[in-house]
Structure 1
Amino acid sequence: MALRTMQKFVSRGFKWFFPEPEKAEDGRDQWPSRAAFLLAAMGGCAGQGNLLRYPSVVYNNYGLQWFIPYMLAVFLIAIPALVLEISIGQCYRGGSVIAFNNINRRLKGVGIGPVFKHSNAVMDAVLICGSNVLFENFAAFAIFGVVGFLRRWPSPDERLGAFVVGFLTLPEAVLQTPGANFWAVLLFLTLIVLGFSSAFVMLDVVATLLVDSGFRYSRPVIVSGLTLASFLMCLPYCTEFGYYLLDGVDRWINNIALIFVVFSEVVSATTVYRWTDVVGQVGMPAFVIYNLGYFGGLLIGITVAHGVESAAIGAGAGFGVFTVCTILAGIVASSPSPSNTALPSRIRAQLAQLWYLAFYSGNQLRRDLNLIVGSGNNWKIPAFMPVLLRYVSGPVLAIIFSFAFPEFHELRYDPMMIAGFILSILGMVGVLLGFVVPRYYDCFVPWQRREEGMKETLLDRPVEQGDAVSVGSEDGGESGREKIGG
């Protein structure tokens, strides 16, 4: 009896300190406020990489000149990709696998890679990216003060590693500072807090994935198991070679796996979303040829550029392949539905073909997402965003991705670099496996939600309108219906 009473008081005390989150209509946990979500997201973005890795990258690229490509990457890649992730997550109310399964069932593997109410997704993405930029640049100036004090200067022969900053450079500076003990404790606490903030986000992503999939254990048990598994996986980093292993894993996971996942997100979401709408208008051969030109142009252009060591020749080869395939796709394409414009019929047909092949999927995704994230006074996803994602962000990411392999070739005899490289390649294989055999990832999607990537729609209509018209049509909605996925 006494034991039961004690358990009751302990349970009440636990719930008082850690209250259950509010539930949405679909039973999912809900953020108590938008401010809570923003603070949690900002805390998740601000991790040890901002304090350690980012300053080392700036240092290795000679400081000020780095900020030009950096700011371009923020506006052309980081913000658009984050808008896409937050919008998809809010609209489809699920973990990353469920969310991308709604875009297309073959994108469940893409959902393995990334790390909410109708909130302001576009503004949230801008605020989160902005806070991240401010934090890491503030950290960079602090680090540069220490590096200058230690009289270290950028050199092509000596690379400043991310963990050299955290575990060698900063501790060495602390030892030479008055009140060294105080600053040493402060440095230790800073690294610990930054590590915790990132760990919470990464654990929550995996926990949400398992909870959404219908895993039969409760969330506390799942989180406890993940924490224990993560602890065991980190033990090799505590060995004598752990520092070098950590450097290798950090380098290649960021330079290969992360870049590939983001590339897959921004390109696939604007290519295969409602792809059967496109095929229904221009035909399968045109769809295949156009996208073969897009991906083939990237592959050939980058390969040629590295092979002959000329960016201009590579760009010419890539654009040449893309242009030829675009023309061929226009030749074999069927005539789309007539449009009400004053242009001659042949020009109307050619423009319509180009629209469906090049822009329809991304624009329709934007329209469908704006039904949720752009409601009320929320910022809407702008019309240029799909074009930016597919034709700017995607190629830029592909170019950045390509530089990792020549870099690895120079380090191919280092066992720790090989280990990190292999792990990053396995991450890529996981994404591609989901595209080739999507049923392998069905276990991560509840059975009642597995058909959401096959929603029936009407051409040029948002998803909700398409569903309503299909159900209400006299012929049972068979006329003009298309399926997302395949």
Structure 2
Amino acid sequence: MNTVKRVFLWFAPDAKKGDDGRDVFGSRATFVLCAMGGAVGLGNLLRFPSVVYNNYGLQFFVPYLIALFFIALPVLILEISIGTAYRGGPVVAWHSAHKRAKGIGLGVVFNGYTVVTYYIPLLAWVMKYFRRSFQTPLPWSGQDLSEYFSNDIIANTAPSVVGSFNPDGSVVQYTQYSDTSLLGETAGWAIFTWFVTWLCMFKGVGLTGRVIYITMGLPFVLIIILIGRGTSLPNANEGIKLYFATWRTSALQSPQIWQAAFGQIFFSIGVGFGYFTSWASYCSQHSNAVQDALIIGFSNSLVEIVAAFAVFGVVGFLGLDPSDGEALGTFVTGFITYPEALAQMPGANFFAVIFFLTLFLLGLTSAFSLLEVMSTMILDTDWGNRFPRWLVTTVIAVISTLISLIYCTAFGLQALDAVDTYVNDIALFFVVWCECFAATSMYRCRDVANQVGWLGFLIYTGGFVVAQILSIGISYATRPAIGAPVGFVIFITSAIAGVYLSKTPGFPAPRFWGRNNLLNRFWWIAFYPGYQLTCDLNVVIGVGRNWNLPVYWTVIMKYISCPILAIVLSFAYPKFTKTHMYDPIMIYGFSIVHLVVPVVALGFIIPSWFNFIIPADKAARGDKPVVPLEIVDESQTMERAVGVEDGVPPHSNMGYKNDKAGVV
């Protein structure tokens, strides 16, 4: 019996404990691999090459790299930094940043959990292909792959009535689904995948730290095999030429390529799903968060750029060309195009097993990372922490399995498509916009009010938000050439009004901003929250030789990332009204993802409603003391401080420092 116990503890060791009693990763490499496991998934091997193919190759990397540096990396750094510094999942971390931001944390958890409930049924389809890969010849050889995928893998029944619109845009009739039966094999593989997912994380980061070396290491080896096979196929050079040796400047003039690039990098890295903050909360509080975020972000891009050679070799082998008008998609590439090539290859069964095993392992790492978000949220609470982790994760896994069965039915593909479309197009972009806004406008905003008054700050901040909403709305109602100038006029007007209606600050802004009264006021209302967040985080994660957060980090998030996210978010609504409004399942998907809006709003208006999720020892962190230009050190015990009186900040040793952590 002791031998069995020793073997079990070797395979699933207890997690190490930090100074505060929280579980911690055994090593930095383990954290990086777990975070990469969430980021590197099916999108890297399937979605990325599809998007590059549809946008004619090399010039796609221009908007792709812009999106990487101006949206993905800044938000990735934010999510990892707050998880590391505040030692909690998304809800605790955002509450610690501002008590009215905990609804944003709940929105992040909603995104991650909603995705994992349909992501695992998608992996069930992968396993259905995997099982069939052992048959000789491959059962889809010589068949129409689209029909094989629809009839044998998805096995969905066509709607009995297909909806349609009147010429005026109103609905003539709604789509009707007569078959709602559960598909046995799909459900069986989904239950199996849920069990494997549970096995990977039921004991916490001690077990996950062992598993991740297999679930991340093996796919890298398999991807190398697939690259070798794909690039050695006849005419593979034609596909690779399309990928890396075809330049079309004219393609950059189309908004489609920019939208595709920003969407790809956003979904590929996976910000807004919560697993970066959750995993980071199990790191040492003084981890090198900035460097880790850059390693994860660049590694994710490197994996998908290199792995795409495997797909483009197949593109050349099959003689595909985007000018033919047939676009590739994630499902098409993974379940139709690549299986078609596999059936024609020498050693078809071997490479089919390798391909679908790779997809499963890539998906598995993403699945248990997404499920960890919900587990961390519950285990962070005082009531959830009373139960052993294995019990909490078991209950979550069982409930999640039951929810996911809706995607294992005869209408499962449509349900998956509906929720996936609008989680990604609406909930994800909305929540990440809120993250950027909270970090750069809400953080320690009482300091701003203390120095310049609420009126000027609220006018400026309100104008910043209204300018984005109205410019987008007017652009759709008329045209972008009108909407964009209107937005700029509103923003500039609110900035001028905010400056002139602000009081003169008692403390000068840093550098040249403090040399002029108007510039001094403008700095306080436009830059202070983000600047102070940078200072406060740097004193925790920027210690020793760790990399500091640069001062321009939050400027990028507020004035570049936020407007871009708002624009991309707006794309989802015309798509719904023009193509999906007659389908009840699409209406369901469109409606359910909007739950994040009232959750975020309630957290802002009535933050006490969600206090039951916040542990008692961290509840006070949401009320930052009013100490303008002073460091609030999150690595020390947080206590309430007396507000600033007469413009003179208190000097205390209870978590406040005068240095600016190297950013001034």
Query: Normalising by structure 2, what TM-score?
Result: 0.67
- Aligned residue number for residue 46 of structure 1: 40
User: Quick check: 1:462 aligned with 2:456?
Assistant: no
CA contact (8 A) 2:625 2:641 kept: no
Matched, 1:226 2:226: no
Deviation at 1:91, TM superposition (A): 0.9
- Residue 122 of structure 1 is matched in structure 2 by 290
Q: Quick one: structure 1 residues 14 and 476, their matched pair in 2 at CA, closer, same or farther if it must change by over 3 Å?
A: farther
Letter in 1 for 2:7: G
Q: Who is 1:3 aligned against?
A: none
- Residue 186 (structure 2) pairs with residue 18 (structure 1): no
Alignment of 1:323-334 (within 5 A): 323-334=492-503
1:203 is aligned to 371
- Give SS of 1:25's match: coil
Q: 1:468 to 1:9 in 2, by over 3 A?
A: closer
Tell whether the 8 Å contact from 1:459 to 1:481 is kept in structure 2 after alignment.
Answer: no
- Aligned pairs (5 A) from 1:227-306: 227-306=397-476
Q: How does 1:147-158 map to 2 (within 5 A)?
A: 147-154=315-322, 158=326
Tell me what 1:132 maps to.
300
Q: What per-residue deviation string (whole Å, max 9, x for no partner) do you get for residues 286-316 of structure 1?
A: 1111011100111111122222232x33221
For 1:163-174, list aligned pairs within 5 A: 163-174=331-342
State the distance in 2 between where 1:374 and 1:343 align.
25
Residues 341, 198 of structure 1: CA spacing in aligned structure 2 closer, same or farther, 3 A cutoff? closer
1:451 aligned counterpart, secondary structure = helix
Matching residue of 2:252: none
What's the CA shift for 1:156?
9.9
Residue 340 (structure 1) shift:
9.3
SS at match of 2:543: coil
With over 3 angstroms needed to count, the CA separation of the structure-2 counterparts of 1:111 and 1:478, relative to structure 1, is same
Q: How does 1:417-456 map to 2 (within 5 A)?
A: 417-456=586-625
Of 182, 191, 214, which aligns to 2:359?
Answer: 191
Aligned residue for 1:450, secondary structure, equals helix
Q: Which residue of 1 aligns with 2:539?
A: 371
Segment of structure 1 superposing worse, 145-154 or 201-210: 145-154
Does 2:554 align with 1:386? yes
Is contact 2:625-2:640 (8 Å) kept? no
Deviation (angstroms), 1:468: 10
Alpha-carbon distance change, 60 to 421 in structure 1, aligned in 2, over 3 angstroms: farther
Quote the offset at 1:447 in angstroms. Answer: 2.0
Aligned residue pairs total 473
Give distance in 2, aligned partners of 1:460 and 1:85: 23
- Structure 2: how far apart are the matches of 1:343 and 1:385? 19
Which residue of structure 1 lines up, in the alignment, with residue 279 of structure 2? none
CA distance in 2, matches of 1:248, 1:372: 42
Counterpart mapping for 1:65-144 below 5 A: 65-112=59-106, 113=108, 114-115=274-275, 116-117=283-284, 118-144=286-312
* Residue of structure 2 in register with 1:58 after alignment: 52
Q: Indicate how the Cα distance of structure 1 residues 348 and 464 shifts in structure 2: closer, same or farther if over 3 A, else same.
A: same
CA spacing shift, 1:154–1:309, aligned 2, 3 Å: farther
Change (3 A) 1:250 1:363: same
Q: Does residue 407 of the first structure (1) align with residue 575 of the second (2)?
A: yes
8 Å CA contact 1:297–1:319 kept in 2: the answer is yes
1:342 Cα deviation after fit: 12
| 1:472 to partner: Cα distance | 10
User: Which amino acid is the alignment partner of residue 427 of structure 2?
Assistant: A
- Match in the other structure for 1:30: 24
Q: CA deviation at 1:476?
A: 11
Give the secondary structure class of the aligned counterpart of 2:550.
coil
Partners in 1 of 2:322 and 2:411 — Cα distance?
26
The Cα shift of 1:231 comes to: 2.1
Distance 1:105 1:157, change over 3 A: farther
In percent, how many aligned pairs have the same letter?
Answer: 44
Counterpart code for 1:375:
V
Q: Is the 8 A contact 1:110 1:434 kept in 2?
A: yes
Cα distance in 1, alignment partners of residues 415 and 632 from structure 2: 47
Query: Structure 1 length as normaliser, TM-score?
Result: 0.90
User: Any idea what the Cα deviations from partners look like across 1:228-259, whole Å, max 9, x if unmatched?
Assistant: 22222222222232223323322222222111
The alpha-carbon deviation at position 343 of structure 1 amounts to 9.3
How far is the alpha carbon of 1:470 from its aligned partner? Answer: 9.6
Residue pair 2:620, 2:640 contacting (<8 A) in 1 also: no
Q: Against the structure 1 CA distance between its residues 263 and 472, is the aligned structure 2 distance closer, same or farther, given a 3 Å change threshold?
A: closer
In structure 2, what is the Cα distance between the partners aligned to 1:416 and 1:471? 49
Q: Which ranges of structure 2 fall in alignment gaps of 5 or more residues? A: 109-273, 276-282, 652-664
Q: Aligned to 2:21, what secondary structure does the other structure show?
A: coil
What are the superposed Cα offsets for residues 23-64 of structure 1, whole Å, 9 maximum, x if unpaired?
001000111111111122112211112222223333333433
Say if 1:382 and 1:184 are closer, same or farther in 2 by CA, change over 3 A: same
Q: Residue 141 of structure 1: CA displacement?
A: 3.1
Specify the code of the residue in structure 2 equivalent to 1:400: V
Q: CA deviation at 1:86?
A: 1.0
- Counterpart amino acid of 1:281? Q
Q: 2 CA distance for matches of 1:240 and 1:64?
A: 40
Q: Supply the RMSD in Å over aligned alpha carbons.
A: 3.0
What letter corresponds to residue 111 of structure 1 in structure 2?
Answer: G
Q: For 1:98 and 1:156, locate their aligned partners in 2 and report how far apart those are by CA, in whole Å.
A: 51
Distance, in Å, in 2 between the alignment partners of 1:340 and 1:45 is 39
